[in-house]
Structures are given as C-alpha cells and as structure tokens.
C-alpha cells in the first residue's frame, strides 16, 4: 500500500523520483524518502509528512536512485523509520512494500553477528541481509537474501559501488517502466505515466536487474521474458481536470465509466462469456471493503435471476474457513488486483480445486495471474482512496454476469440491456442536481454519529453509503438492515443521530416506511434516498435525495452515486482531507 519508485537513466534522479512519488500519494503515506548513488556513496533524504511540505533539498546530480512513501506498519512515522533503509556500512539502500513476518528472529541473529539497527521496521533486516551477502554483485546479494524472508515483499535495492537497480517481488505489486534510454521501477502504473506508457508487470518470484543498457528478468535463477504492455491511460486521466478533488472528478466520470464498461461487453445483446460457470454448484464471492458491498448486490441479483446459490465472504475471514467445494465458482472482486486478503483467498480456492474468476480494474495485476478467468471493469485509474467510479463499474459487470447466468427470455435480456444503456443518462441527471445533495451534506457535517438503513438491495447500498461517510468525513457511520435497528441500535437513536434510509419501491417498500416511522418516533433526523416518482416517502422524513426512476435492480447504481456525493459534501464542509483520508491507503497489499 506504500509507494515505490526506482530510476536509472539520463535525467536528474531525485527530480524524477519525487515527481513519480507524487503520482502515488493517493495510496496513502505518513513519511517518505529518496536515496541516490553518486561518487561511490549513497545520499539519502527522509522526511515525515507530505512531499509538498518540503521547500528544498539537494541530493546531487546523480541519474540513478530509489524513493518510497511509507504507511507505518512496524514502528511509528518518523525519519528514522522512513525508507530507504541502509546497512551498517551504508553501501546498500533498499525500499520495500509488504510485511516480513520473520523479521524479529532475523534481526536478533544479525545483531549477534555484529549488525547495528537504527529503526523499528521489519524492512531494515532486508538491507542487512543483502549487505551480508554482498561481494561486489548486487544481484547475487539480493538473490542470496530472498530465501531467508518469509512474508510479502516488493523490494528495490541500490548500491554505492554499482550503477544498477535490482528489484524483486512476492505477493506485492511491482512494475517495470520501459522508456527511451531510461527505466523505472514502481509499485503502480501512475508513477511512470509522465515518462512512458510501456510497462512490464512483474510476477511473483521475478528478480529484475536494470542497467543503462537494459534489463534482465530471472525467476528461480532462470531468465524469463515478460510482455511489454501498452497502458491506455494518459497522464491527463490521472489529473484532477479542474475539479477540487479527485473523488469529485471520479464521481463525475461515472457515466463514461458505465458506457466504457458496457462497450466492452454489450452490442445488441450481452457478449460476456460465462462458460466458467458451467456446472457450478454455488458461487462464492470473496472481497474486501467496497468490493464486498458490490458482491452483496451480486448475491441478490444472481440468486434472483438464475437460482444459483450465492454466498459472500470477507476475504480476510474466508482464509480461515474450511476450503470451498471443488464444484464451486469462487469470484474475487478487487479494484487494484493487488488486495492481499483477496489474493490469498483465491489461492486457497485454487488449492481446493475450485474454479476462480477475478473481477478487476487493472490489466496485468496479480489477481489476473491467479485466476482461471478474468472480467475487466473499464473505469480507468482511480486516484481517490475512497472507491467511487470503480464500485459502479463492478456493479455493471455483476449485472452483465447475472443476466448471462439467468433464465431470462431473449426479450427480457434485451429490455435489461436497454435499461443498462440508459444508466449513464440517469447518473448525469443526479450530477446535474448535486446542489441539493450539497445542502444536505452540509447539514450532516455537524453530527458525529449516523446510521444507514435499507432492505433487500437497499441493504448493501446502505453499507456502502456508511463506509463512504466514515472514510472521508470521519463521522462514525454504520449500515444496518432496516429491520435490525430494534435489536439493539435503537438505543443510539435520538436528535444527535441522523439516519439515512435507502427506500426502494419493491416488495420491501411498505415495511421500510414502517421502519422509518419507528426511527422518527425516536427523534432522529431522517434523510431518504428515493426515486423521483416516490411521493409517499416525503410524509415521513426530513429530507429526500431524489434519483431518477430506474428498474429496481439498478437502484444500487443511482443511489450509490447520490450517497457518494452526500459523503463528499459532508467531508468538504468538515474540512477533511478527502482524497487521502487518514490511516487509509488505496491498494491494501498487507493482510
């Protein structure tokens, strides 16, 4: 979840590295650092806080170096715990993402051997292990150190004695950027897009050695060839484009994202291949966070349309459950394709003999190499930590999958496709009237606790709405099935606890209105999310956020966009750091 950058070429390395690290700020970090190799020594600069807070520094004119943005795991945010980390003799510097699970016994052994440690991190042991094995060849030293490491890692190493970078990965993402006479190593594509759109996605076990003349990739000591991919995103795609925050820009990109995702899988009918599901006894979704809520929508929709049993598991919990049946289809949903818990869940499913499908937004990501089948969302880069447009893209893919697995007639499928094609226009209508949502968000900004409720498809929407609110506004918000409030949460209701109700005009409508009446009887302000044709709901609530009328199965799309805006404007009024909420990161690559 931290950011890694390495560079070798003809430009001033620290300038390239700083610029690239800034492209990765969305991943979340609390400290950062840069190391360059120049004149037989390593020059290092490390700082707590944001990169933009530093007015000036000077590392030299070297054209080779490494950099890192750290999100603290082992040891508090501090200059000494920030990366890069060096060995005792300051001959080796490394940056690292991941977790070294056995760092304590390694550290104790190295101390007995005379090594001196200065940080609290697990990462520092890597530098010392490489230094221990260093005899003038950085690649050999790195390869010798790797078997001693248990856990996950993406590592880039640099030496004061050699003009080369050595990088390796295991269960943590790392890409190689191929420029014209220059090369880049990074943890994510946006870091290199300013300089090149040619990318090699490294695989688990890969060790890449980069010099001015090129690069060589080995896996288990054997040279391997990896395809150079052309990235379709432009650097402009990763810029704010006049919006105050990336989150708002990405919410406004939702109509185009829906169109792009449909363009890939829909013509006159749905072209998505679902042969992977043939003969399956059940579908198991594994996911985390926002992707988990998309999976919950999938459960409702797929079971209703196809009759196939569906269960949804948190990936982090699934890893400790009994293995799935061999006839199960296990579907992992991960925006980045690098979510550690989801990757491990899919590995477990494969070991059990289950078929594995991945739904992801990133071509070449780790999940694409684990899964038997992949369905790509087409959301483009998402910089804001809080998922918005990528969540909607996941829902669109799930609807397409459900329709293809369904027992619907041809005319029913055609009707569904037409409804899908109308969704971008429906979402634009919400965006055109966001001033009303802004007013309600500013009203909510003075509260510290909220509840979100819904029934049926409204329940996962409520969960996702609450997650967005707590992520970026820091208001304590919880989502519940509307019928569950009376089993405990009623004790928290009152004038200081607003309730957001997702009201869908289906078979849950009347009972949801009854639940709203129960809430109002306890003096809580109520904000309803409802479609524009619902005149009854106004009688029972304080505010209504109106959305265009759509087929009820698509209400998670329109309602979620409205709830994203509600969270955004609440957080903005509270003065929160919307794109980079505290303690969070975009791509969670540790378990």
pLDDT in tens, 529-577: 999 999 899 999 999 999 999 999 999 999 999 999 999 999 999 999 9
Q: Is 163 left (phi over 0), alpha (psi -120 to 50) or beta?
A: beta
For residues 76-86, average pLDDT: 87
**Cα 449 to the center of its chain, rounded Å:** 26
**Cα 132 to the center of its chain, rounded Å:** 36
Average pLDDT, the chain: 89
| Locus of tokens 């390593």 | 42
Q: Is 590 left (phi over 0), alpha (psi -120 to 50) or beta?
A: beta
Asked whether the predicted pLDDT for residue 263 surpasses 90, the reply is no
What percent of the chain has a predicted confidence (pLDDT) above 90? 61
- Give the DSSP per-residue string, 362-393: STT-HHHHH-SEEEE-------SSS--HHHHH
**Cα 60 to the center of its chain, rounded Å:** 35
Question: If you ran DSSP here, which 8-state letter would residue 585 be given?
Answer: -
C-alpha distances (whole Å) from 532 to each of 418, 536, 544 are 20, 11, 9
User: Residue 236's pLDDT band (boundaries 50, 70, 90)?
Assistant: low
Asked whether the predicted pLDDT for residue 586 surpasses 70, the reply is no
Active site residues: 2, 586
What percent of the chain has a predicted confidence (pLDDT) above 70? 95
Higher per-residue confidence, 206 vs 485: 206
CA pseudo-torsion sign 13, 18, 23, 24: positive
Residue 106: its pLDDT value, please? 92
User: Residue 465's pLDDT band (boundaries 50, 70, 90)?
Assistant: very high
pTM over 0.75: no
Question: If you ran DSSP here, which 8-state letter would residue 322 be given?
Answer: P
Higher per-residue confidence, 263 vs 517: 517
Tokens of 336: 């980045």
Q: In what order do the strands lie in the sheet with 526-531?
A: 476-481, 449-454, 499-502, 526-531, 543-547
Write down all domains in the chain, each with its CATH number in brackets.
3-236 (3.60.20.10), 243-430 (3.40.50.10490), 433-578 (3.40.50.10490)
Q: Is 288 left (phi over 0), alpha (psi -120 to 50) or beta?
A: beta
CA distance 208 to 185: 10
């Amino acid at each position: 979840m931290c950011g890694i950058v390495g560079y070798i070429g003809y430009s001033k390395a620290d300038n390239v590295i700083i610029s690239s690290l800034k492209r990765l700020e969305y991943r979340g970090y609390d400290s950062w650092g840069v190391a360059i190799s120049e004149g037989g020594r390593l020059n290092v600069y490390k700082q707590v806080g944001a990169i933009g807070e530093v007015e000036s520094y000077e590392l030299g004119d070297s054209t080779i170096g490494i950099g890192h943005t750290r999100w603290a795991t082992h040891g508090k945010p501090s200059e000494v715990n920030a990366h890069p980390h060096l060995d005792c003799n300051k001959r080796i510097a490394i940056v690292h993402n991941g977790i070294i699970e056995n760092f304590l016994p390694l550290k104790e052994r190295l101390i007995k051997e005379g090594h001196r440690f200065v940080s609290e991190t697990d990462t520092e042991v890597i530098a010392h292990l490489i230094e221990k094995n260093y005899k003038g060849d950085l690649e050999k030293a790195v390869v010798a150190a790797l078997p001693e490491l248990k856990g996950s890692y993406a590592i880039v190493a640099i030496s004061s004695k050699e003009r080369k970078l050595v990088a390796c990965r295991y269960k943590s993402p790392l890409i190689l950027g191929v420029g014209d006479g220059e090369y880049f190593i990074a943890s994510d594509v946006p870091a290199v897009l300013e300089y090149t759109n040619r990318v090699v996605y490294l695989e688990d076990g890969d060790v890449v050695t980069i010099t001015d003349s090129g690069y060589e990739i080995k896996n288990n000591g054997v040279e391997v060839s990896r395809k150079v991919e052309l990235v379709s995103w432009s650097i402009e795609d990763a810029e704010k484009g006049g919006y105050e925050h990336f989150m708002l820009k990405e919410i406004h990109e939702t109509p185009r994202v829906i169109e792009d995702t449909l363009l890939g899988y829909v013509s006159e009918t749905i072209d998505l291949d679902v042969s992977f599901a043939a003969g399956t006894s059940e579908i198991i979704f594994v996911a985390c966070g926002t992707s988990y809520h998309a999976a919950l929508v999938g459960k409702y929709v797929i079971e209703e349309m196809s009759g196939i049993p569906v269960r949804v598991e948190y990936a982090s919990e699934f890893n400790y459950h009994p293995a799935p049946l061999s006839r199960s289809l296990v579907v992992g949903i991960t925006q980045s394709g690098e979510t550690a818990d989801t990757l491990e869940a899919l590995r477990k499913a494969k070991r059990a003999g289950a078929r594995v499908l991945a739904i992801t937004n990133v071509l070449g990501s780790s999940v694409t190499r684990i899964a038997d089948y992949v369905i790509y969302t087409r959301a483009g880069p998402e910089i804001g930590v809080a998922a918005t447009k990528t969540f909607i893209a996941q829902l669109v893919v799930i609807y397409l999958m459900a329709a293809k697995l369904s027992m619907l007639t041809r005319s029913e499928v055609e009707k569904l496709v037409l409804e899908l094609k109308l969704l971008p226009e429906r979402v634009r209508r919400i965006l055109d009237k966001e001033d009303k949502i802004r007013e309600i968000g500013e009203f909510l900004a003075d509260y510290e606790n909220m509840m979100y409720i819904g029934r049926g498809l409204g329940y996962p929407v409520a969960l996702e709405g609450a997650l967005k609110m707590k992520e970026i506004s820091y208001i304590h918000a919880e989502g519940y099935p509307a019928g569950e409030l009376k089993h405990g949460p009623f004790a928290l209701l009152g004038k200081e606890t607003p309730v957001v109700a997702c009201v869908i005009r289906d078979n849950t409508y009347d009972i949801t209105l009854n639940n709203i009446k129960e809430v109002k009887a306890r003096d809580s302000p109520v904000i309803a999310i409802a479609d524009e044709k619902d005149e009854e709901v106004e009688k029972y609530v304080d505010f209504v956020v109106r959305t265009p009328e759509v087929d009820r199965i698509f209400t998670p799309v329109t309602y979620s966009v409205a709830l994203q805006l509600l969270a955004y404007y609440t957080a903005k009024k509270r003065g929160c750091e919307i794109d980079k909420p505290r303690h969070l990161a975009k791509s969670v690559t540790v378990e």
